[in-house]
Structure 1
Amino acid sequence: MHIRTTEQFPYSVIEEDLRIPMPDGTRLYARVWRPDIAGPEHPVPVLLEYLPYRLSDWTAPRDAQRHPWYAGHGYASVRVDVRGQGNSEGLPGDEYDETELADGVAVLEWLAAQPWSTGRTGMFGISWGGFNSLQLAARAPESLHAVVTVCSADDRYDNDVHYTGGSVLAVDMHAWASTMLAFFSRPPDPRHIGDDWRDMWRQRLEALDPLIHTWLDHQTRDDYWKHGSVCEDYSAIQAPVLAVGGWHDPYRDTVLRLVEHLPREGTAPVRGLIGPWSHQYPDRGLPPGPAIGFLQETLRWWDHWLKDEDTGVLEEPLLRSWISESHPPATVYPELPGRWVGDARWPSAGVTMTTWGLPGAASAGPVLVRSPQHTGVDAGRYFPFGNDSDLPPDQREEDSRSVCFDYDPLAEPLEILGRPRVRLRLTSEVPRGQVIARVCDVAPDGSSTLVTRGVLNLSARHGRDRVVDWEPGATEDVELDLNGIGHAFPAGHRIRLALSSAYWPWVWPQPGSAAGWSVEPAASALDLPVRDAVAAGDAERPAITFEEPEQAEPLDVRYPEVPGQRPERVVVRDVAADEWRLEVDPRYGGTRIYPDGLEFTEDALETYTIGASDPGSARTRSDWSIRLRRPELGWDVRIRVRSEITADGADFRTWNEVVCAEGETEVFRRCWERRIPRTAG
């Protein structure tokens, strides 16, 4: 990776903190990096990253890698904290609520009107910032001329952190709600706010309400989830979009949908890029790699749309994808083997959906799928961040808890690109249940590497917007799409389809689901998106290459060693109780000391517990502690959050507590308990 100091940029960089006024008088905290030439005589385009994650501490190391780099290449690059977060005034709200989006439009208008601005703006971001970039593009503000959205979603219900296939994402809906409760409880920083920090903090704390309440109140795809889901009307997006994802990020299907539904040509075209990455910017070098020169690649996008320079971005294939070669199962890969391919349109002329009947189906009768409830403990992390235990280990134990259909060893290599589909004829004796399908690459030595997977809540089989219970004893045909993937199966390997009726803790088990369901193999099939390099035109296209990663000089943040640090991921089995417990340390950042003297400590532990034969025994717990300290100011605050969820056949039961202290004095404590009717999830 090439690290540049500001002296090595084409332009010298000026950094400035600002307050951007909103129409109601609320001021949002912003940091601006801009080239020294920027001014009324030499205005420059403006790039915006708009997040709730505190620019003065939590994202500061990441911000330092990219915003000064853009500024050194002739842009004003701006990082803004969402209202009620970090050092911005106002009260925190829900994800992507109307206030956040209206504020975003106002921020763009303000930036476009500055004397150092040409009036042309672009938005970029990963995850939350990628979400609201798309959502603001759908509002078509006049100044917004281009978007780069990374690891984001077009569908807030079925491709976000809350639900999948109509089922509650136990693994991350709860953990993320608890994380947000802890994050929303953090105070402004007196170094930037002054003596008003304490009053601002108190107002925020009094306004707190755990987001898990709202998310569980909406268990089907209703108007709440449609708000902010740009898939409701792709045509509303009026800015060119560079959509970026990674095969190990849960949001990668959004890239495939955007390149399918947004125009390839015209004034607001789309281009897609999917690499081997986790939920990270592709230049950061976090596993799995290889990393690319992502900042340079985005600069081509900005220069084309914001400076009218012909950088060749529209000559790129509609979709550039990484095809991973077969690899042994592991929880982390520094780099994956594979190659880049390009497709001129999507769905691609080089990809054919081929039907594979289930092996042995001709002679097989109905097969009972009744998985133990701890099936899924080897699923890996829903949001891989590049940590050592993120990815799924060898799937042989998971396969043993599932019903597997193994195809004959491949006589020749086979590549897939896109979303596989599973079609099943099922019989269920209970009204509620779930289907989980996994496709694995089985090597001659028997090792099983997860390729992709999908989930279907059977009550959502006729649409995510409704609940249709299964008539006990009835037989129906159902379909579920698996997550998109680019993968090459080598000759001699087997393709395995594994079916299970449980997948804890990814999805919360349905009441009565221990009974499982039966599948008729003869009436079921696996559809694979098989890619043919000749039909795709690979030979006629120049090889796809990227520059080496390049970043600005890193922020001088120190990460002290923490003695006795717990493991990232532990599975514990209580043999006598037949109970399984998964303990996860998400490792978002840990303890760090910033160059301005701020000491930031965070610790989190997620716990998921279930009995092997009892879906009603499922319970989750999330514990957070955060400390912010400035010794030179005598400032020392602590936040502790504890959150738990259990469920029976009728209700989810949630319990949340927030405790805040200044020094040794407790200044806030609140506990919320709720029973939420279990209508669908």
Structure 2
Amino acid sequence: MSRTSIRTDFPYEIRREDVRIPVPGGTSRAEGSGGGVPLYARVWRPVTEEPVPALLEYLPYRLTDWTAPRDQQRHPWYAGHGYASVRVDVRGHGNSGGLPGDEYDATELADGAAVVNWLAEQPWCTGDVGMFGISWGGCNALQVAALAPGPLKAVVTVCSTDDRYDNDVHYMGGSVLGVDMHAWGAAMLALSCRPPDPEHVGDEWRSTWLRRLEAVEPLVDTWLSHQTRDAYWKHGSVCEDYGAIGAAVLAVGGWHDPYRDTVLRLVRHLPADRVRGIVGPWSHQYPDRGLPPGPAIGFLQETLRWWDHHLKGAANGVMDEPLLRSWISDSHPPATVYEELPGRWVADPAWPSPHVTPVTYGFRGSPVVVDSPQQTGIDAGRFLPFGNDADLPPDQREEDAHSACFDFPVPEDGGPVEILGRPSVTLSLRTAAPTGQVIARLCDIAPDGSSTLVTRGALNFSARHGRDRAEPARIGETEGFAFELNGIGHAFAPGHRVRLAVSSTYWPWIWPRPDAAGFTLDPAGSSLTLPVRRRTEDAVVWEEPEQAEPLEVAHPASPEERRPERVVVRDVAKGEWRLEVDPKYGGTRVYPDGLEFTEDALETYTIEERGPLTARTRSDWTIRLRRPDRGWDVGVETRSEITCDAEAFHTSNEVVCREGDEVVFHRTWEKRIPRTAG
């Protein structure tokens, strides 16, 4: 097992200061009518008289509390190795000025480019800047790189997306993601309503907070209003023009993260002299944090090599590394958490790889009707796993029972069947309704019958000819539906079976279509294609993970934190299934500066076995921030719901904010959004 070392002896001493970086105003998100908007920043710098390159991480998640423990692991580490490492809050969030807007909107990206230029102009900076981040920060790092600010020379993007429509938390295969379209929209509503901290902004915190609250809008209403891949989603999707990215890109992902296909596309489409890719066994986390599944790697050391080469001109061989280094997991029993997965690292000099050959498996048998009950998908696991105990999919045997399954044995007298890349399916379907979905899961079946989910994919019937349009299926006609599954590295052991399981529903990941009439699958003309990798013996070596000294944050226990992470409740008489999820983002924590931060969230997904129009999502958030020494005590409560009928989605959102016992803000939003494709 990889053990994280805590590093305190750096080549440089470190100084830290909080500053405000001015970016241009003059938009609806600026404070006031003139001048610039100050973005709150924390800068860790090496103690030296020589200028150094700067590294930027740029997020809406509040550097003084929410990401402070994670920031402390890496920013001082970079500073101790000769970089000015800078963490900045996006406009309208944390202690920055301005008003909150949509994710990755034009203002956010322009601000990011302005911060890059500001950093380059500082007397302590050489003029060369790198940008890094995970999730939101990894996404906007790519998007700012596509704006090509001159000083931005290199990027490290982790668990990010190049395609905001089809590889993010909104849509999958042209279908509405019931799980994170709702859950993350609800989370951002709650998080955007937190006030600035008077410890850092002084007495103006209250007036700034109230202005922000008046500007907040539920993001889910915007997301649901764009159900095909239109101009809204093309904005910020760097896959529209990979050539716009001038910086060198190190793309990093995990096989248990939904964004991992971005790594495969970036190493395929960016010039080989400016890109490298790493995909490990990880969840939605930095690869050095040691959160399951592992093994973790010395990620900070690997990125230091990247920065040293591209920002300092070091001839350290980082660009001599293989184009793509990937983890291939061995067969393993199903579980919702793994401390470490069995497997090995492999190296590929190009992508597509010369070591990978597509192998097609044809289906056999008579046509089969697939009309899955609506709760199929209840064992899908978390869309964005964070390393918690109930994140990953359990045994898939119940899901397989609701699906049409096609098995392909792995001979016992041979080696494992290793795959690396994106499997694909072609399914010959006769639809019973003009709308619907088809979901394909690839599973590893052990000799004892246990079923481990390997990867999956989905296709909305209306998106079969392109995500940018909605074309109803032709009822009663047999048609080929072809789509890719998410990328994976996996070795099916001898004596196991490769299973493709096909269902017509997948709640709560995929929001059900009104008809829910299923389809008939004809094995003749249907096939599974696997990216089979020839076994190679590769010398991929990582240093052990290390980080800077951690932030001393206390985590007092609370009743909410003892709540189960994931509970399935079945009302047998009613035929109703309810999934309750505690996302466990952080719970209660007390920071070294005295801030008490309490956070509780509960997501609920409900559906009846034969009632696609009974689908309902709800998310409840409670956040409290206290500084007892100041007498400061504020709270945020939000409720978010989505229901549907045959013609429309119905969203309901409510925010209540308090200062002490006084309600200072209360607003509700009720929207009806026509179902055009979702």
Aligned-residue offset at 1:2: 4.5
CA distance in 2, matches of 1:23, 1:611: 51
Alignment of 1:563-578 (within 5 A): 563=559, 565-578=562-575
Aligned-residue offset at 1:234: 0.5
Can you list the C-alpha shifts for 1:372-406, whole angstroms capped at 9, x where unaligned?
00000000000000000000000001101111111
* Corresponding residue for residue 28 of structure 1: 39
CA distance in 1, matches of 2:162, 2:287: 20
* Corresponding residue for residue 245 of structure 1: 253
Is the counterpart of residue 296 in structure 1 residue 296 in structure 2?
A: no
Is the counterpart of residue 491 in structure 1 residue 499 in structure 2?
A: no
* Corresponding residue for residue 54 of structure 1: 62
Is the counterpart of residue 518 in structure 1 residue 514 in structure 2?
A: no
Alignment of 1:586-605 (within 5 A): 586-605=583-602
Which of 518, 523, 529 does residue 531 from structure 2 map onto? 529
Q: Is the 8 A contact 2:423 2:530 kept in 1?
A: yes
Is the counterpart of residue 381 in structure 1 residue 382 in structure 2?
A: yes
Aligned-residue offset at 1:467: 0.3
Which of 419, 429, 434 does residue 431 from structure 1 map onto? 434
CA distance in 2, matches of 1:118, 1:237: 22
CA distance in 2, matches of 1:455, 1:572: 26
Indicate the SS of the match to 2:65.
Answer: coil
CA distance in 2, matches of 1:673, 1:593: 36
Is the counterpart of residue 397 in structure 1 residue 398 in structure 2?
A: yes
* Corresponding residue for residue 84 of structure 2: 76
Aligned-residue offset at 1:562: 1.6
Aligned-residue offset at 1:561: 1.4
Q: Is the 8 A contact 2:454 2:490 kept in 1?
A: yes
CA distance in 2, matches of 1:167, 1:429: 18
- Two-structure CA RMSD over aligned residues (Å): 0.8
* Corresponding residue for residue 204 of structure 1: 212
Aligned-residue offset at 1:208: 1.1
CA distance in 2, matches of 1:474, 1:674: 36
* Corresponding residue for residue 611 of structure 1: 608
* Corresponding residue for residue 408 of structure 1: 409
* Corresponding residue for residue 275 of structure 1: 280
Aligned-residue offset at 1:4: 3.8
CA distance in 2, matches of 1:415, 1:366: 30
Q: Is the 8 A contact 2:62 2:95 kept in 1?
A: yes
User: Which letter does structure 2 place at the counterpart of 1:634?
Assistant: G
* Corresponding residue for residue 358 of structure 2: 353
User: Which letter does structure 1 place at the counterpart of 2:388?
Assistant: N
Tell me the TM-score normalised to structure 1 length: 0.97
Q: Is the 8 A contact 2:4 2:288 kept in 1?
A: no
User: Which letter does structure 2 place at the counterpart of 1:551?
Assistant: Q
Aligned-residue offset at 1:129: 0.4
Indicate the SS of the match to 1:285.
Answer: coil
CA distance in 2, matches of 1:319, 1:295: 18
CA distance in 2, matches of 1:677, 1:94: 21
CA distance in 2, matches of 1:316, 1:409: 33
User: Which letter does structure 1 place at the counterpart of 2:40?
Assistant: Y
Aligned-residue offset at 1:478: 1.0
Aligned-residue offset at 1:408: 2.8
Which of 241, 246, 269 does residue 261 from structure 1 map onto? 269
Alignment of 1:92-491 (within 5 A): 92-265=100-273, 269-358=274-363, 361=364, 364-411=365-412, 412=414, 413-491=416-494
CA distance in 2, matches of 1:216, 1:496: 34
Q: Is the 8 A contact 2:7 2:546 kept in 1?
A: no
Indicate the SS of the match to 1:632.
Answer: coil
Indicate the SS of the match to 1:522.
Answer: strand
Indicate the SS of the match to 1:50.
Answer: strand
CA distance in 1, matches of 2:417, 2:215: 55
Alignment of 1:624-639 (within 5 A): 624-639=621-636
Q: Is the 8 A contact 1:329 1:393 kept in 2?
A: yes
CA distance in 2, matches of 1:462, 1:522: 21
Paired residue total? 663
CA distance in 2, matches of 1:568, 1:661: 28
Indicate the SS of the match to 2:508.
Answer: coil
* Corresponding residue for residue 544 of structure 2: 548
Q: Is the 8 A contact 1:406 1:495 kept in 2?
A: yes
Aligned structure 1 segments of 4 or more residues deviating by more than 4 angstroms: none
Indicate the SS of the match to 1:524.
Answer: strand
Is the counterpart of residue 63 in structure 1 residue 71 in structure 2?
A: yes
Stretches of structure 1 that go unaligned for 5 or more consecutive residues are none
User: Which letter does structure 1 place at the counterpart of 2:296?
Assistant: A
Can you list the C-alpha shifts for 1:18-66, whole angstroms capped at 9, x where unaligned?
00011221000000000011x4xx0000000000000000000000000
Indicate the SS of the match to 1:191.
Answer: helix
Can you list the C-alpha shifts for 1:402-452, whole angstroms capped at 9, x where unaligned?
111112343421100000001011101211000000010000000000000
Q: Is the 8 A contact 1:355 1:526 kept in 2?
A: yes
Q: Is the 8 A contact 2:443 2:452 kept in 1?
A: yes
Is the counterpart of residue 561 in structure 1 residue 557 in structure 2?
A: yes
CA distance in 2, matches of 1:329, 1:380: 12
User: Which letter does structure 1 place at the counterpart of 2:607?
Assistant: I
Q: Is the 8 A contact 1:3 1:553 kept in 2?
A: no
User: Which letter does structure 2 place at the counterpart of 1:601?
Assistant: T
Can you list the C-alpha shifts for 1:60-91, whole angstroms capped at 9, x where unaligned?
00000000000000000000000000000000
Aligned-residue offset at 1:5: 5.0
Q: Is the 8 A contact 1:581 1:607 kept in 2?
A: yes
CA distance in 2, matches of 1:512, 1:217: 21
Alignment of 1:643-654 (within 5 A): 643-654=640-651
* Corresponding residue for residue 12 of structure 2: 11
Q: Is the 8 A contact 2:442 2:498 kept in 1?
A: yes
CA distance in 2, matches of 1:421, 1:178: 33
Q: Is the 8 A contact 2:634 2:659 kept in 1?
A: yes
Indicate the SS of the match to 1:639.
Answer: strand
CA distance in 1, matches of 2:179, 2:92: 27
Indicate the SS of the match to 1:510.
Answer: coil
CA distance in 2, matches of 1:12, 1:349: 46
CA distance in 1, matches of 2:513, 2:482: 19
Is the counterpart of residue 507 in structure 1 residue 510 in structure 2?
A: yes
Deviates more, 1:20-29 or 1:269-278: 20-29
* Corresponding residue for residue 661 of structure 1: 658
Stretches of structure 2 that go unaligned for 5 or more consecutive residues are 26-35
Percent sequence identity is: 71
CA distance in 1, matches of 2:635, 2:218: 18
Indicate the SS of the match to 1:298.
Answer: helix
User: Which letter does structure 2 place at the counterpart of 1:138?
Assistant: A
